[in-house]
Amino acid sequence: MRADCMEEVSACLRQEAHMHLLIVAAGSGSRMGADRNKLLLPLAGRPVLAWTIDAVMGADSITWVGIVGQPVDRAMIMELLAEAAKPVVWIEGGSTRQESVERGLQALPSVAQHVLIHDGARCLAEAALINRCAEAVVAGEAVIAATPVTDTIKRVDGQGIITGTPDRAELWAAQTPQGFAVEQLKQGHAEAQAKGWTVTDDASLYERLGWPVQVLEASPANIKVTTPFDLTVAEAVLALRAKRQIGL
């Protein structure tokens, strides 16, 4: 297909998507050693979450945004969204990420057919990646952003002894956004609740149910800011991007 035709298809997909996106922002700062939500910590002069919001607002595929957070953070988070260019709804999160996503799904408008789930802590995601994920979901795929693993990974038992080395060629580090058909993802969460499953991302529900999920290769820079070291890395990436924007 010619490049101009592909661009037309992508534009049509985005136009028809009415894509809804949930930002999961209900975490804490425990691993960061902070006494507050890590998403409200400063990064290059702004809260971490502000950078995430910028990417979401810059993605023309997104037409509705839900922020899933804790009541204690509501005022500060909504202040970041005071001039949001898209409709934004506050959703009270749960005690786990899984519960927070489930609550977010229940708060979606009845017209929502597709949804992207994005970690608020992935503040280096770019609008182009969000649009790519949206296009894949509208085209009929469950999809996650991910990057190939470059380190050699070891399986280790409870005593710290290596028990195996998985084939690195088959390993990808999962990221977000992760995109799904709304009703199918709701079904997955209902199954998890009924069977007592605990998962750390939504793609894991699909794996357990035998449903296919497509990997969409993303930049290794799309890290989840969890530790002080991650903040340092994120600041360096943002500084590099700023230099590129001004042609340095």
Q: Are 221 and 145 in contact (CB under 8 A)?
A: no
Q: Is the peptide bond before 148 cis (omega within 30 degrees of 0)?
A: no
Distance CA 235, CA 239 (A): 6
Q: List pLDDT tens digits, range 129-138.
A: 999 999 999 9
pLDDT: which is higher, 197 or 37? 197
pLDDT for 37 beyond 90: no
- Of 1-5, 195-199, 211-215, 233-237, the poorest mean pLDDT is in 1-5
- What domains appear along the chain, each with residue ranges and CATH number? 3-144+173-245 (3.90.550.10)
Q: List pLDDT tens digits, range 149-163.
A: 999 999 999 999 999
Tokens of 61: 């595929």
Which pLDDT value is given to residue 48?
97
Residue 112's alpha-carbon distances to 106, 109, 138, 221, 226, in angstroms, are: 11, 6, 12, 30, 31
Q: List pLDDT tens digits, range 66-125.
A: 999 999 999 999 999 998 999 999 999 999 999 999 999 999 999 999 999 999 999 999
User: Apex CA 56: angle with CA 7 and CA 225, to 5°?
Assistant: 120
Confidence class for position 244, pLDDT limits 50, 70, 90: confident
Model confidence, pTM: 0.90
Q: List pLDDT tens digits, range 175-215.
A: 999 999 999 999 999 999 999 999 999 999 999 999 999 99
Which pLDDT value is given to residue 7?
54
Nearest Cα to Cα of residue 52 among 80, 20, 10, 15: 80
Stretch 7-29: mean pLDDT: 69
Measure CA 93 to chain center: 15
The H or E element that residue 216 is part of is: strand 214-217
- Of 6-15, 35-44, 152-161, 164-173, the poorest mean pLDDT is in 6-15
Q: Which residues does residue 60 pair with via DSSP β-bridges, in sequence order?
A: none
Q: List pLDDT tens digits, range 160-175.
A: 999 999 999 999 999 9
Confidence class for position 31, pLDDT limits 50, 70, 90: low
Q: Where are the alpha helices (DSSP H) in 83-227?
A: 97-106, 127-138, 182-195, 203-209
